[in-house]
A and B are shown apart, each in its own frame.
Chain A
């Protein structure tokens, strides 16, 4: 029966194949493809659980609120790496020579703007009178402000082990063997925007497995959880943001992200890092941005303001929020000392254990940024100080001994940037200082053993430790640019909110040199290539010695015509990890290599049907010399009639990867504001169908159903997400109401 449904669905898609001719309107296709590639690369780099929503929030906002070409707002295109700093300079030059843009088509006449760039940015720019000087009145705000309400529901249809019925005594014996809540994920989001100047919003979220209002637990479990008992929306966030109000360049109350310089001292949100294109290695701090996503880990909650006058601008901020942590208690004769053995980053509060860790400690950050910018030169100074209400003491291990521990951490750094003509030079130097904790006085008597057991006999102040990066981008000709970057992050450099360029997610204990090139050697041909060589100067998780590796990447793309683009991509990454050989006494690190080749083509059948094919091969070489291979092939068909209020997207994919090591990441189209990049391995097929209907001008509905069917397994997942059966079906529905 299920099979029949699938046949009908696939035929349904085919039956829509009536070619219709319509006008080629602006589409965000090129921008989407760019983001898809970057998100896929990000997933491959290991940020699989990353919250793409947080990262892509700014792009979505841009799509819905295009920037005015005749204003300073175009800097946002650089911040989001849609144009390079050189292209930005050309844009400014064009405006100085020829005055304001009258038509969007003029973009193609700006030096250094190739067809590809124009296709990417055209849908996110507009031409209007500069209104930044207009007075803001309540009347105008009420009349021209845009309201938006988004509600989303998600669920895995098969029953996962974590939701299986269980009686109380068994659950009490094994408290983390079940999720306490229901399997639905729910999210509501409201945002208000007045001409990008005043923005406000709130976000409510409940993850799958978290307890909602309707979920009930027995009194014993409730008593066990005590004050950690939590029902309803697990995440609640809000923001109120204003910008360009006289001397106040930006101000925010509530949840926000900060990004300065090259991200070495302070960059609280995510960034594409290596996944971005060559010229995006140079970052452009975007200062304060409001955060509307439901990501629960890396963000600020409090207030921040940026003031600016002339060449100077200054930001101060304060954040105070509760974070998840695993609290332990050591007993001494006189008192109980609390410490935290780890900070939880997932944001899930589904099991008794996760709920007990919820919002366990308070994290406060205060800091600021000072910037000075003249014609081609920019320099900034950032400083911030973090407190934890309870000291962090990690389970002692060799690899984590330079990780942040203790209670207080100071960071400061200087960043600079110089862009002129064919050259861009950028860099940042940062310093961290760990103030440690007070060492508890050693206690005589029988408890000494316990006290002595505490890691590193107290946490003395450590530091200072340093980190720095410097880079140069040269553009010898319009069709060519290359970047050289060197980074050296000290092994004791600690920062809870850094996100600079690097291998892996930690800006710590790493040295590396990066060479990247972007070129358009012939019309309609583009090449993007980089090589990154890195060394880890200290041990890392599961690597028992300082190690090294390299990452090579090459992508050649070609446009057959405006609607047909193809690319071929190679990636080879070698790193080290401990040998798993059971016969060696010490697990020394050895090299392993992952190679991947991908071919992708996007084309259109007439005007309304968009197609894509993708083939990917992944190869993983194990330490014993054995090889693992992964294959993935897919066909995408999207029916998007112009001037019609609906669209349908369908994918049929098969995959065959023996093991997790040869897994393949494949981006999938999703309901608006949501992103999925599942890692596929095993053997089987993956299909999904996504539909969109615009009911009235204000109301849009999305629905998506996806299923992965394995031909070589009888169960899917493991632990609490285990499903008995060979398939996993996910459904999503979303409603967007715009006013």
Chain B
């Protein structure tokens, strides 16, 4: 309870009341690598930079749960489904942050297309729903997110992602509270076949300052990945493990915040296909 109070105080002191918290790196791999994800590929890219799912070649379903600060009230629950087609990859996603008293929900319809090695483009249309318990009401908004990725060299991948580029708002709220714009870009560098480094910068217009994130991934044994990362603003260190076989992957991570303590994340992806 004490921790919850501290958390609420922190949130209230650093941002506006409607700091919309749902734009947050998703996936056990991203969480373990300090949240860096804008130049990553895979199913969870749908939430972090939709361009990254353009390369997906299997029908995939993912589930993700984050017990943030070990409080059920600040948990994230996500689901995603991706269907690769001839015309590009289609995706459906659902995110929820919070508990029954206060929750933020995002429903997304994503599409990503591969234009060759140098360019992948992704787009996600979002329906956002904010529910506050005790009859304070429901508020909804629509917006979209855009991303591009480019494999500029054999080793270097660059990515840019913008959530809500035109600054939509929750029209029903008293002050037409603006949704934040979240803008991130960064790179992934494949040092060797089994070693990747990533870094990125993010600006969320609801928060003071920018967040810098970096992470490393090493394939220690075949199919077993160890990961570590760091993030600033808030300052978080993170660690994680991943194991993947042909039709399933499981990624776990732990994040440590000096004041708020630990968070744990677990993500699973099931794929069907060749």
Contact = CB atoms under 8 A, between A and B. Distances in A.
Contacts of A603: 150, 152, 158
Contacts of A7: 166
Given A599-B201, A654-B181, A635 B162 contact: yes
A469 B16 CA distance: 55
A654 B167 CA distance: 11
B55 interface: no
Nearest to B181: A654
B150 A652 contact: no
Nearest to B149: A605
B94 to A, nearest CB: 24
A635 to B, nearest CB: 5
Given A603-B150, A633-B203, A10 B165 contact: yes
A683 B115 CA distance: 35
A3 B171 CA distance: 15
Interface stretch (A39-47, A459-467, A531-539, A611-619): A611-619
B188 interface: no
Interface in A1-19: 3, 6-7, 10, 14, 17-19
A601 interface: yes
Contacts of A3: 166-168
A654 B146 CA distance: 15
A605 B150 contact: yes
Given A605-B118, A683-B205, A613 B160 contact: yes
* Size bin of chain A's contact surface: 20 to 34
B81 interface: no
* Size bin of chain B's contact surface: 20 to 34
A609 B183 contact: no
Contact of A564 (B116, B153, B165): B153
A604 interface: yes
Interface string A8-37: 001000100111000000000000000000
A19 B166 contact: no
A631 to B, nearest CB: 5
A711 interface: yes
B178 interface: yes
A631 B203 contact: yes
Given A17-B121, A599-B201, A605 B148 contact: yes
Max chain B Cβ within 10 angstroms of own Cβ: one of A6, A10, A17, A563? A17
B185 A563 contact: no
A486 to B, nearest CB: 39
Nearest to A601: B158
Max chain A Cβ within 10 angstroms of own Cβ: one of B123, B162, B205? B205
A606 B210 contact: no
B156 interface: yes
Nearest to B144: A7
A606 B156 contact: no
Interface string A625-645: 000010101010000000000
Contacts of B115: 17-19, 605-606
Contacts of A18: 115
Contact of B205 (A604, A613, A656): A656
Contact of B210 (A564, A604, A611, A617): A617
Given A19-B118, A599-B201, A603-B158, A709 B167 contact: yes
A69 interface: no
B83 interface: no
A174 B201 CA distance: 50
A6 B166 contact: yes
A654 B152 contact: no
Contacts of B156: 560, 564
Contact of B152 (A604, A635, A652, A656): A604
A709 B167 CA distance: 10
B152 A564 contact: yes
A17 B119 contact: yes
A18 B121 CA distance: 11
A635 B160 contact: yes
Interface string A530-567: 00000000000000000000000000000011011000
B209 interface: yes
Given A19-B118, A561-B152, A603-B158, A14 B146 contact: yes
Interface string A285-314: 000000000000000000000000000000
B20 to A, nearest CB: 14
Contacts of A654: 181, 183, 203, 205
Contacts of B166: 3, 6-7, 10
B185 A633 contact: yes
**Among all A-B residue pairs, the 9 with the closest Cβ atoms:** A605-B119, A606-B118, A605-B118, A564-B152, A613-B185, A19-B116, A603-B152, A615-B201, A635-B160
24 contacts: A7-B166, A17-B119, A19-B116, A560-B152, A560-B153, A564-B153, A604-B152, A605-B148, A605-B150, A609-B118, A613-B160, A613-B185, A615-B201, A615-B210, A617-B210, A629-B208, A629-B209, A631-B203, A631-B210, A635-B185, A652-B183, A654-B181, A654-B203, A711-B178
Given A605-B148, A615-B201, A629-B209, 8 more contacts: A3-B167, A564-B156, A604-B118, A604-B152, A606-B118, A609-B118, A611-B150, A615-B185
